Amino acid sequence: MNKSKVRRISALALIAAMLAAAGCQRPVEPGTSPPEPAEEMPAQSEPQEEKPAAPAFTAPLTGLGIEEEAKERPIAVMINNFSAARPQSGLSHADMIWEILAEGGITRLVAIFQSESFDEPIGPIRSIRPYLIEIGESYRAVLAHAGGSTDAYAILQNKQAGKAYLDEITNAGSYFWRDSSRKAPHNLYSNLEKLREGADKKGYKADKRPPMFYFEELSQKAAADETKESDGDGAESSSVTEGGAGTAGSADNAGSTDTAGSTETASATSVDIRFLLKDYVVSYAYDAQEGVYKRSINGKPHIDLNTGEALEAANLVVLGADHQVYDNVGRLKINLDKGGEALLIRGGEAVRARWERLDGVIRIMKDGAELPFAPGKTFYHIVPNSPSFAEHVTLG
């Protein structure tokens, strides 16, 4: 068979196949359109979760986001911390709390209220000392107290000084009340509404804002530290003893859980602070999930009577200061100007630092720069420098 004949037979076979395929199709009825090809359904994407809008404002003393600007002048309340006064009320709403010695080894609390509004009681409220005035005024706060030492009254009642204070005994008794369920003198209370009303009636300026503090998310800090280490600048933070505990000052104490000596950072998931009395120990346990330290006194949770929950803070600060007894009552002079050793404890870690008083405000410094707080509340503790700063703090 020649090639041309083969090509003709192949062409005829192809035509026959095409006609057979066309015969299998359904004929289109007259007056109708051929069916349109089915549309392909687009792939459905996963619904995107809407992120909540960031709060419009930031609280100046906590670094936390808030929905309304915190414009109120701070109120600094002197809180009794004698055992018979515990549990106290209102402390969970304070932005910052200072614990510092008064007479007889008992500590007093200075609670700074600014960013939160609440109706519940604050107290028990007790007397004021010159160094407590310094702490409260560093926040440009109105001072709330009941009585005071002779030296404190000399400062407050100096008309030329123009101090803003509400004293239950001498000038503002109607803005406080006694709780009959507790024994005097551990039963004096007020609340923010009454204290702000009293400050307004006294004509104290309401537009004084607190100083600003530096806050930084711990995740941001960790990223910055990793960058430093990759550049060879992070060796300083590695001088932590084996097991994660800090050392005390001497080689004899290497590996102990006492801090404040040669190390720059140390693990701090538990913290014990002693002031003067051996039977008074403030402890904190770190809750890594919440990022806060929960406070105990002598092994028992230190609760707010209003909430029934333990006090907690994102930041703990321990400062060493010179203490001097100057009268037979045991009253103290505490030097809040000199500066000295400090620990900043946050995120399960303690950082050795120094404290300085700059423009009237105590700042926590390292290598000439202010250390950032983690967003949240802060508890300060001022301990004596004797016998040594290190002996007042234990980390674990």
Q: Which residue has the tokens 């809180």?
A: 79
Question: What local confidence, expressed as pLDDT, does residue 28 receive?
Answer: 47
Neighbours of 328 (CB within 10 A): 6
Predicted pLDDT of residue 127: 98
CA distance 298 to 272: 10
* Listed range (112-121, 223-232, 314-323) with the worst mean pLDDT: 223-232
**Mean pLDDT for all residues in the chain:** 85
pLDDT of 55 reads 86
pLDDT at 344 over 70: yes
**Burial class for 172, CB neighbours closer than 10 Å (0-12, 13-18, 19+):** buried
pTM as predicted = 0.80
Paired tokens of 327? 């009268």
DSSP character for 155? Answer: H
Flag the least confident range among 94-98, 149-153, 252-256: 252-256
Residue 221 has what pLDDT?
52
pLDDT of residue 22: 46
Report angle CA 304, 307, 313 to the nearest 5 degrees.
55
Cβ proximity of 113 and 192 under 8 Å = yes
- CB neighbourhood size of 353 (10 A): 21
The pairing of beta strand 188-189 with beta strand 265-267: unpaired
Amino acid at 61: L
Judge whether residue 224 has pLDDT over 70: no
> 296: how many CB neighbours lie within 10 A of its CB?
17
State residue 88's pLDDT score.
98
Percentage of residues in the chain having pLDDT higher than 70:
76
Q: Higher confidence at residue 300 or residue 254?
A: 300
